Structure 1
């Protein structure tokens, strides 16, 4: 018997049209009632998978994922930890717009997973006739209940992706997510194809969340991180031709609360302008204690620190290699909220902690 806990947070999958005709997510009880009308999921089972059952939970407040904040990441992590012993796998139903951020964050907030946590959602509400929601919902539950992959994943349009390697790549097509620099962990169709070579290893006893003491420590750490979030910000800065030093300064040193980290969406392999005023603005931010991550705007490939004279490593930016911008942002937030100082964060950011990056020599 495999038991799956489904946490509904809101998002398109649970939307209906309000009196103005705009889509908004319904409360949890209403969404569960809708799911139970699906023949394959009625009775909290899954047709074709004897012994697989699911239970649904939700928060009092449902959200469009455009309204998600790091505090919501922590709330999701706490809820999953609170029921960790009772279930064999977990599904987080989430809006698609910021799903890659949340899935990335959960991978850093819940190291030591020995059970799958599968984020899922849809491009079209479950209440619509022509919708990807039924297949995505069933696929996510099946993945969480039958694939012992010990990590945070995203399930969308038949593919199970590593959460911190995923990005939303299409606003309209059902194939809304991709993992540009990493292969799928599994594909679910008429047969389930596992790509176990790429799964994270099972955690050792000293970090496994299966241990009550480790879980208690992780819960205490989450509470401390929640308290720390109000004291700093992390920003994302997209570079573009003609970007002004004053814009950079305003973004990196003019925020309230103060920026402690920034993800730079640079050109190509991590390149930026060599304009002295632009570089001075970045240098000033580094001297002020801001951790700069040198990411790329390009979906595939990697930042190669030092490959070009226009690389941003000379001003103290840390190369992100092939980390997605979403993973870089989430990792920065989680490390800074954990109380690490700038030097410690700089040391941890280019290390693969939970499979989020590939260190590339070159």
Structure 2
């Protein structure tokens, strides 16, 4: 028997229309009743999969994913670890707006996964008639219970994507997510087509969360993160024509708590203005200990440090290669919360930890 733990956090999938006509997520017990009414999911079993069962858990407070914070990433990771040895796979039901950030973060917060953690949700609530929620919910449970993918994933509209390679690309269509720089890990149709050459390898015993000692150490590390997260900020700065040095300075050195990291959403292959004041503001931030990630506004392709004279590597920004902005942000937060200093974070950011980037020649 394969057992799947479904963690409901809120989001559109669990929303109903409130008296004011707005959508709001229902509490966990109420959502479980909605899920049990989905064809094929009654009695916590999965029709056509006689050896697959599911259990649902939830937090006391349901969230729209626009309200998710790094502290919530930690809470999700802790919950999954607390039941890790009882289940064969995990589904996290999450709002779509910040799902790619949370999925990316969990890939860094839970190194050593030997079981799938599958994020999913929907563009339309499960309580609505014309909804993508039933297919996404059933598909996510089946994938988590039948595919031994040892990593954090996003399942949406028949495709299983690497979590830290995914981005929300459409606010309305059911195909709301894509993985611009990495192929799907599997595709679900009349058959499940596995793309196993792209799966992460199973971890060895020394790091696997299947080992109780490793889980205990990871839980202790997670317990220390909330206090650390309160002491700094990571910002995202979208570059645009005419951006002023004063704006950059305010974002990077004028925040409280102090910024320790920043994802620069630059032009093209990581380019920015050559205005001396703009570059001076970035240099001042680097000297103040802020780690700058040179990322791009473009969905596909990679930042190539040093390819152009307008590249930002000269001021000390670290090239993100083909990492998504969401993965860059989550990785920065997790590394900084783990207590690494700026130089150690700079060294770690361009090194793959969970399949989040492809290192290519400069």
Please confirm whether the aligned pair reaches a TM-score higher than 0.5, indicating the same fold.
yes
Task: State the 1:225 CA deviation.
Answer: 1.4
Structure 1 residue matching 2:60: 3-state secondary structure:
strand
Query: What SS class does the counterpart of residue 173 from structure 2 fall into?
Result: coil
Q: Residue in 1 aligned with 2:166?
A: 166
Distance 1:355 1:13 in 2: 28
In structure 1, how many angstroms separate the alpha carbons of the residues matched to 2:21 and 2:39? 28
User: Could you say which residue in structure 1 is the equivalent of 2:92?
Assistant: 92
Counterpart of 2:177 in structure 1 is 177
2:6 counterpart residue number: 6
For the residues of structure 2 that align with 1:353 and 1:29, how far apart are their CA atoms?
Answer: 36
3-state SS of 2:292 partner: strand
Task: Compute the displacement of 1:59 (Å).
Answer: 0.0
Structure 1 gap segments, 5+ residues each: none
Secondary structure of the residue that 2:48 maps to in structure 1? coil
Following TM superposition, the consecutive aligned residue runs of length 4 or more in structure 1 with deviations greater than 4 angstroms are: none
Which residue in 2 is equivalent to 1:232?
Answer: 232
In structure 1, the partner of 2:251 is 251
Q: CA RMSD in A?
A: 0.4
| Structure 1: distance between partners of 2:38 and 2:324 | 35
- Counterparts of 1:147 and 1:39 in 2: how far apart (Å)? 22
CA distance in 1, matches of 2:246, 2:18: 42
2:232 and 2:344 map into 1 onto residues whose CA distance is 16
2:116 corresponds to = 116
TM-score (norm 2): 1.00
Query: What is the DSSP-based 3-state SS (H/G/I as helix, E as strand, rest coil) of the residue aligned with 2:242?
Result: coil
> Structure 1 residue 37: deviation in Å?
1.2
Deviation of the 1:224 alpha carbon = 1.1
Q: Distance in 1 between matches of 2:140 and 2:97?
A: 18
Task: Give the Cα separation in 2 of the matches to 1:178 and 1:50.
Answer: 31
Matched with 2:218 is 218
Counterparts of 1:74 and 1:185, CA distance in 2:
25
Q: Tell me by how many angstroms 1:39 deviates.
A: 2.5
Aligned residues: 362
Question: What is the deviation of 1:38?
Answer: 1.6
Determine the structure 1 residue equivalent to 2:295: 295
Q: Which runs of 5+ in 2 are unaligned?
A: none
Local SS of the residue matching 2:7: strand
CA distance in 2, matches of 1:15, 1:319: 39
Matches within 5 A, 1:32-43: 32-43=32-43
Q: Distance in 1 between matches of 2:36 and 2:301?
A: 43
Structure 2 counterpart of 1:104: 104
